[in-house]
Structures are given as structure tokens and as C-alpha cells.
Amino acid sequence: MLTELKVPERLLLGPGPANVDPRVLRAMATPVIGHLDPAFIRVMDETIQYLRQVWRTQNRLTVPLSATGSGGMEAVMVNLLEPGDEVVVGICGLFGQRMADVAARAGARVRTVEAPWGRPLDPEQFEKALRERPAKVVAFVHGETSTGVLQPVEPIVEIARRYGALVVADCVTSLGSVPVEVDRWGLDAAYSCSQKGLGAPPGMAPVTFSERALEVIRSRKTKVQSWYLDLNLLMGYWSGETVTERVYHHTAPIAMIYALREALRIVLEEGLENRWERIRRVHEAFVAGIEAMGLEMLVEKPYRLAPLNTVKVPPGVDAAAVQRRLLEMDIEIAGGFGPLKGQIWRIGLMGYNAQPKNVFTVLSALEMALREQGYPVSPGLGPAAAAAALKG
């Protein structure tokens, strides 16, 4: 007999996806209509309007691609870069490495500036690289998912602009959770995902491009290497002035766009500043609890990415065993990549999940799992410190 799909209900406190607001799940159950139906075109237009507000931009080319965040990364790189173009990529974690890889696959000549995992990039390294040889694009990760580092943006943008480079930022783990100011900062292109700070399921990749970047895309000498991600083609579907001007490109994921529209509506209903403040308060309460338990954060305080907390694994503790123990309690957290494998836990408090009750839940579960491995921590110490921080 074929059985009905059943999966466990988990508290998703890893790097994403996060749990989804029930209002978003209800929106996904809205009747499916055609992807060129005038009613759906209106939904598309509303989604674009909401995205511009969340990105803090007036960019005309601001759309959600039918892809994950990695698809957004690839779309930005393959549209802006042509074979032989120079690009400087900042690497301080896995996703900076991925940006460099994608740029190289687009035929670009890639140079990197690097920092140890867990520390931010030094803007002066970009200055040095551009002084040696100009570049068409400077790219970096705003919120590095593999390390929990929040990169200061404006110093890098100022340097890149002085040397005439386009500026690209990976905002996969920052958009909707911490300030992202595309126009004020002067970013030329940025991309994100739907399943983290925005609070929808995975499957959409919001991207935005400045007029300067749009001109580069329109004046390419070669075709974009990906037909599916070619923004010269996608613009005809997403950006027609009227319904009759829309040009078929692909069948859009109707239910996912419903979900993203509702998630963006919820973000704007709360207010961006209020949302950023909520996530900051929850993050600081979590850190207070962690430190009360005798644990340490990986990243120095000024550079911590509030929606994604990276906690050092104490000596003698099996990181993977703690993750398995929490999963038995239906709580998902994640471990480290690469040089940080086995050395950190990545604990996300983003979007719908950035609530005090989830801080208390995960701290209590961590205490139990650590005590079972012989780590000395008094029951209730972490949650009590978190509660005090929230009151303060």
C-alpha cells in the first residue's frame, strides 16, 4: 500500500530553512492559476513592489528568481561577467569560496582577498588588489552562513567605486534579519533566498540590480551562458509594462510566489526596523545564555550575524552527538563546515523563529545534551541569563 507523506515536526534552528509562519503556509494553499493570468500578473507586480521595500531600493530590475539562493548567486555572476573579465572576490567562509567558483565557471579571471574563517574581510585588501589591477566586479558575502560573520559593507563599496568596479553582495542570510540598504550603500547587485530572514519555504531567490548593472547586462558582447538565468530574457516576463507585453519564459512556481508575497507582506506589516530589533534582542538573549553556560561565541561581538549564532564546541564534547541528541528532541541545529567542522554549532534564530520561547527551548536542550557528555553546567543557568537579558 502506498502511504501518505508524513514527516516529523521539528523546531528548525539551523542555518535555514527556518519554520514558516502559518499565514505563509495558508497562502500556499491558494488556488493555482495560470502563470500569465492577469490575476497572477498582479500578484507578481505586488511581490516586486514588496521586494523593493525590503531591499530598500528603487531598482527596476528587482525580481524573485525561480531558484534557491545559490541560483541567485549564479544568476548575478553569469549576467554581469563575460569571459576574461576581472573579478575580486572576498573569502572568509564557504560561500565566498562558492562565489569565486561560480565566477571562474563564467570565464572570469578571479582574484581573491581572504580572512580566517570567523573573522571579517579587511577592506584594505580590496584596495591593494584593485590598485594592482582594476576589476569589473568586486564581490563579497554580507552575512557568511558558514561562520556567522556580518561583514561591514560601506568601506568595501567606497573602495570599489573609486576604482570603477561593480559591487555584488551575497545577502542570503542577512536580508530580512539585519539592515540591508541597497541604494544607500550603493550596491550594484545583491541576491538572497526565501527560507531564512524572509520566512518562506526554500525555492525563490530575490535579486536586485542597479541601473549601472542593468546597462552592463544589456550591453554584453556574448550571450549569458545560462538560458534559464539570462536576465535579458527574464525581464520580458517579470517587467512588462502591461499584461499583454509579458513574454513567456518559464512556468513560474505559482504557489511559491504566493508564499513569498505573503512572507514579504508579513515582514512589511511588522516593519523592517521592528523586525531587525526583534532579531537583535533574541540574539543577545541567546548569547547571554550561552556565555552563562560557560560557552564561547566564535565571532567577535561587532561582527556577529544576529540571525545565525556560531557557538564554539567546548573541549571534550562531541559536536555531532549533541546535534543528534537535540534532533531526538525535534530540534535541528547545524555543525561547521571545512576548517570549522566539529568546532562550532550554527544555531539560527531568524524570521518566524526569532522568538524568546525558542531561545529558552534550545538553551535548555543544549544544557541537557552537554550534561550527558559530562560538561559541567547547572540546570536552568542559560535560560535564566537569557530571560534577564530580555528584561534588561
Q: What is the pLDDT of residue 73?
A: 98
Question: pLDDT digits over 48-101, tens only?
Answer: 999 999 999 999 999 999 999 999 999 999 999 999 999 999 999 999 999 999
Q: What are the phi and psi torsion angles at 76 (to 5°)?
A: -60, -50
Q: Which pLDDT belongs to residue 239?
A: 78
Q: Report CA dihedral (30, 32, 38, 44) to the nearest 10 degrees.
A: 70
Cell of 256: 511559491
pLDDT tens-digit series, residues 297-324: 999 999 999 999 999 999 999 999 999 9
What is the per-residue pLDDT for 246? 81
Residues of the chain with pLDDT under 50: 241-243
Q: What are 4's strand-pairing partners? A: none
184 vs 151: CA distance, rounded Å: 16
pLDDT at position 242, please? 46
Structure confidence at residue 154 (pLDDT) = 98
On the question of a cis peptide bond just before residue 83, with omega within 30 degrees of 0, the verdict is no
The model's pTM: 0.97
Q: Residue 98 has what pLDDT?
A: 98
Q: Which domains does the chain have, with CATH numbers?
A: 22-269 (3.40.640.10), 272-391 (3.90.1150.10)
Q: Report the Cα–Cα distance between both ends of the chain, in Å, rounded.
A: 57
The whole-number pLDDT of residue 92 equals 98
So what's the pLDDT on residue 371?
97
The predicted pLDDT at position 329 comes to 98
Neighbours of 160 (CB within 10 A): 26
List Cβ<8 Å contacts ≥24 apart for 249-256. 250/66, 251/35, 252/35, 252/40, 252/44, 252/66, 253/66, 253/203, 253/204, 254/32, 254/33, 254/35, 254/40, 255/28, 255/30, 255/32, 256/28, 256/66, 256/194, 256/200, 256/201, 256/203, 256/204
Helix (H) or strand (E) holding 261: helix 254-270
Q: Are strands 149-150 and 143-144 parallel, antiparallel or unpaired?
A: antiparallel
**CA 197/CA 195 separation, integer angstroms:** 7
Rounded Cα gap, residues 118 and 97, in angstroms: 14
Give CA 87 to chain center in angstroms: 22
| β-strands 86-91, 334-335 pairing | unpaired
Q: Does the CA dihedral 34-38-39-40 come out positive or negative?
A: positive
Q: Rounded distance, CA 164 to CA 170, Å?
A: 20
Give the SS3 label for residue 368: helix
